[in-house]
Each structure stands twice: as structure tokens, then as C-alpha cells.
Amino acid sequence: MALFPCLDGLPMSHRVLIPHDMEAPPVLPAGVTAHRLSGAAMGTSWSVQALAPQGVARDTLAALVQAKLDRVIREMSTWKADSGISRFNRAEAGSWHSLPDAFYTVLDAALSMAADSGGAFDPTLGPLVDLWGFGPEGRHDRLPDAVMLDAARARCGWQRIGLDRARRSARQPGAIRLDFSGIAKGYAVDLVAQALRDAGCVSWLVEIGGELSGLGVKSDGQPWWVALERPPGDDGQGMLVALHGLAIATSGDYRRYFDHDGRRYAHTIDPRSGRPVTHDLASVTVLHRQCMVADALATVLTVLGVDEGMVFARERNIAALFISGGASGYRESMTPALAGMLE
């Protein structure tokens, strides 16, 4: 039975996705107030809409959100020289580091995703991300040669990181540069959502740089309807999802790229070649309860491409939308888990 039978007022032009294996949203208590917050962090914009219980002021929510974003940056931003991750990246070969909670959680998840994806996700690609001009060292206008590529590849490899789960410590094997850009935004969304839950909110939509997580219903009783992101110029029929107890993340080649000699080089690196992915995927969108997992999976599926990615996603019952092609036309492929959510 659909949780949200009232589809009135939705654009007729869109297909509608309803998650079905979840509890009904809580009834809104009396006296809740709707708040909207927004700002910039982590090189992107963020926004929060939340229904807060009586007595929780807008400023309180704003301070909570800011504290979580600050924490993610302090622990995991490779753009800040004094962050935890930057210190780890500079640390001596063979040194062990006790990690703060957020850093540990993300590294643990990133290494698990690396193992599960056969290395398609690799949180140690910092040197390659910089080599191709997508990292904190900034853009450059030449392509790397084979010698530079081999040198950067030799410095990558998630298997070389030692993780002591009992002590929540990690070992820097020497010259490894962690890069959490493929997973940290999603983690930050989860962290902010958890802070809203802890503050007593029963309904919210959190968004950071296009990754979102939602729970519950709005003041009008409607769920948080979110349009799945599509590449610019794609005029295919859109999809709206009721984001209740669910998060969504998109990896798109249009989000960060450069063009050289008529070719597009986008920011997802295939660890098998050390080069930006070469297939014609324009975007991959993943739905998952945890935004951190959705974010990492969107990167994994972008590396694998539609054919391999579809097999990977089917085996794990992942809800994903692949959009391939370009200006001359886009094609979409849905996993069975996503198709099963169509109304």
C-alpha cells in the first residue's frame, strides 16, 4: 500500500517513485515550526528545511548545522592544511593515528566500499585527483604524461592503509594521500540529519551540493518530493521521489570537468587506469537510506559504467538510475530496485 496516496498537485510530466519498504511517516505534533536555512561550505552550497518542535529556535538549529559542517571540514577537508586528513596525509611512513569519530567512520566506510567494489572506489586517489587537476592543487592545462601517471599511481592504493578497528586508528604507510571527496558530502548530509533528529525534529530535507536526505512530511502533509538530477540539456521525462527515510546522491560528469582537444575529462578517476573514466555515462543517481553510502555508490557505479555497474547494483539490490550519452541524445537505464519504486 502506498504511504503517500495523495499525488495531487505534482507535475503530470514526471514519473513518481515511492519507497515502499518503510514505516509510515510520523504524524506532525502540534506546534511544530517550519525553518529554512542555507549557506556555503565544502566548496558548495547547502540548505536545510526542518520542522522543529516548540522551543527549538531557528538560531539553535542553525548553530547545530554549522557545528556539524565545521566538524566535517576540520576532520576531512583536503583543502585545509590543518585538517585531520591533511595532517594524516603529511604524516611519516609507518605512523599510527588515532582518528576522531567522523574521520574514522568515513575511512571505515570508504575502505569497506573499496573492498566491496574491487577497488572501483578508492579513497587514496589524492595524487591522481591532483595530477588531473581536480584536487586542492588546482587546475592546469596540460595532460599528464606516462611518467607522471605512473608516479602518481604508485602512490595510490587503499590496501596499503592499515585500519585498527579496535583502536579506531589508521596507519600512514608513507606518501598516501586520502581524498574523501567521493563520500564526505554524503556523510555530512547524514550527520546534519542526525543532529536534527537529536534536536527533536520529526521532518526534514537536508541538501549539500546536490546530495539529499529526507524524512517525514511537510506542514501540508506531503512528503519531500525531490526531482532526480539530470544532466544539463537532458529533456527526458523527469522523476520525483518521496524522500522519506531515504537519501539520494548523484555523480555527474558535468559537475566537475575540463575539455581538451575535443574530449571531456571528468573528475571520476578509474583506479584501474589512473585516468578519468572514458565511457559515456553522464550521471548516476543512487537512492539509499544512508547518504554516505549513496554518495560512495554513485562514484562506484560511475567508475564501473552501465554494463558492469548494472550487474553490481542488481546483485546488491541498489536503486540506481544511469543516464548515458550527451548532446546528441541521452539514454537511461534503471536498476530493478529503482523500477520497483515507480508508482
Binding residues for Mg(2+): 182, 295, 299
- The residue from 46, 103, 121, 322 that contacts ligand AMP (CB under 6 A) is 121
- The residue from 49, 83, 86, 251 that contacts ligand AMP (CB under 6 A) is 251
Q: How far is CA 343 from the centre of its chain?
A: 26
Binding string to ligand AMP for residues 265 to 304, with x set by CB under 6 A, is what? --xxx-x-----------------------x--xx--xx-
216 binds ligand AMP (CB under 6 A): no
| Separation of alpha carbons 288 and 193, rounded Å | 14
What residues line the site for Mg ion (CB under 5 A)? Answer: 182, 295, 298-299
Whichever of 184 and 239 has its CB closer to ligand AMP, that residue is: 184
Shortest approach of ligand AMP to residue 251 CB, angstroms? 3
| Separation of alpha carbons 311 and 325, rounded Å | 20
| Separation of alpha carbons 206 and 280, rounded Å | 30
- The residue from 52, 64, 99, 179 that contacts ligand AMP (CB under 6 A) is 179
Whichever of 189 and 242 has its CB closer to ligand AMP, that residue is: 189
| Separation of alpha carbons 219 and 185, rounded Å | 27
**What b/e readout covers 3-28, taking b as 16+ CB neighbours within 10 angstroms?**
bbeeeeeeeeeeebbbbeeeeebeeb
| Separation of alpha carbons 83 and 325, rounded Å | 38
Whichever of 89 and 299 has its CB closer to Mg ion, that residue is: 299
Contact 250, 44 (CB under 8 A): no
Q: Footprint of ligand AMP on this chain (CB under 6 A)?
A: 121-123, 125, 129, 134, 179, 181-182, 251, 255-256, 267-269, 271, 295, 298-299, 302-303
